[in-house]
Amino acid sequence: MADFQIGMQIEAEHMQNIFGSHDAYIKQIEDDLHVVITDRNGEVRISGEQAAVNKAAKLVNELVELSRRGNRIQEQNVSYALELSREGDDDALLEMDSACICHTISGKPIKPKTLGQKKYIEAITDKMIVFGLGPAGTGKTYLAMAMAITAFRNHEVERIILTRPAIEAGEKLGFLPGDLQSKVDPYLRPLYDALYQIMGAESFQKNMEKGLIEVAPLAYMRGRTLDNAYIILDEAQNTTPAQMKMFLTRIGFGSKVIVTGDSSQKDLAAGVQSGLDVAERVLGKISDIAFIRLTSRDVVRHPLVQKIVKAYDDYESRSNSRQARSVRREEARPRRNSTPFRK
């Protein structure tokens, strides 16, 4: 059967963005959909099986539209667009691009880049308390910070409070040199990085001096009531159940809370239960609390990171399955009577 072919006109200013360096993105589409894509004097021709050509044409059109909206096309965009195409959810890419949260200090828009991230943002908008669970690189903390800063700028809250357990220091910071801020800064650096990028160092410093932005270890939340605030607890897998309960009961009127964590990255001492795991079991059915689970599919760092996260997920899943089978076999094994023999 002869190859089916579609021709498309693409503006020259978008061509390099769509094709990528050394045509890397087009090659990725060709390899995945088994089509041939060529550029003839500004006309892009796609040939192959009709169904595959139609899919490729729709995907290229979506990438062109993203480019027209001012986006710099990246490998993650192409990989995720292909994944959505395989699942028949072709329109989701442009839909996600419309959901801009805010802009960084350099003018870069912050938007959800996966369906999981979009669901996370929607939950933050709708619910009072949201738990964002998932591996590194899924944007849990960064998107939470963007939502907090947007709410603060729109005067929806009076202040932003960012906290995380300083587990590496055992929360016993008195032995470290310097004042409180210099003691906890190394453990809170990821939060500062996001604040500087979104808000700008000068604006952040000014609001921090006014007490409108507070970055502090979890231990310093004890005994407080936090009204009209946007509160983010990061690295929540390193809380104990008592710390998590303490934190959640600090919440006052007019506040919104986001708790982020990755249960596979606990730094707690052996045998210590994670407050995040307990919270998921205890609070899962309360209506104004949402638990959003992000996966390796939502990793928006280098595609290799996505593959690494998935490989570890698969390995841990197999290990857990083997362990469960071993426990079941042990339980099913007949036990000898341990009553001592008497003459």
The residue to which tokens 């693409």 are assigned: 10
User: For position 1, what pLDDT does the model report?
Assistant: 45
What is d(CA 125, CA 99) in angstroms, rounded to the nearest whole number?
Answer: 12
SS3 content of the chain, % helix, strand, coil (to 5): 50, 15, 35
Instruction: Say if residue 220's pLDDT is above 50.
Output: yes
Whose CA is closest to 290, among 117, 72, 126? 126
Q: What stretches of the chain show up as alpha helix (H) in DSSP?
A: 12-19, 24-33, 50-68, 75-86, 92-97, 115-126, 140-153, 180-199, 201-209, 241-248, 275-283, 303-332
CATH topology of domain 102-298: Rossmann fold (3.40.50)
Confidence grade of residue 165 (pLDDT, cut at 50, 70, 90): confident
| Three-state DSSP class for residue 138 | coil
Query: What would the pLDDT profile of 67-102 be if each residue is shown by its tens digit?
Result: 998 888 988 889 888 988 888 777 788 888 888 899
182-206 per-residue burial string, b: 16 or more CB within 10 A, e: under 16:
ebbeebbeebeebbbbbbeeebbee
Going by the DSSP 8-state scheme, the letter that residue 235 receives in this structure is S
The CATH architecture that domain 4-97 belongs to is 2-Layer Sandwich (3.30)
* CA geometry: angle 214, 278, 222, nearest 5 deg: 30
- Gap between the Cα atoms of 101 and 277, Å rounded: 29
Give the per-residue pLDDT at 293.
95
User: With bands split at pLDDT 50, 70 and 90, how would you rate the model's confidence at 219?
Assistant: confident
Query: For all residues of the chain together, what is the average pLDDT?
Result: 86
Predicted confidence at residue 223, as pLDDT, reads: 83
How many Å apart are CA 211 and CA 160, to the nearest integer? 9
pLDDT confidence bin for 170, thresholds 50/70/90: very low
Q: Where are the domains of the chain?
A: 4-97, 102-298
Q: What is the pLDDT of residues 286-300, one digit of tens each?
A: 999 999 999 888 887
Q: CA 61 to CA 340: how far, in whole Å?
A: 79
Per-residue model confidence (pLDDT) at position 191: 80
Task: Give residues with Cβ within 8 angstroms of 302, minimum separation 6.
Answer: 75
At residue 120, what is the residue type?
Y
pLDDT at 124: 96
Q: Do domains 4-97 and 102-298 have the same CATH topology?
A: no
27-56 pLDDT per residue, tens: 999 999 999 999 887 789 999 999 999 999
Instruction: Supply the pLDDT for residue 310.
Output: 77
CA-CA-CA-CA dihedral for 71, 28, 15, 101, to nearest 10: -10
Chain centre distance of CA 232: 14
Contact 234, 184 (CB under 8 A): no
Mean pLDDT of 5-29: 91
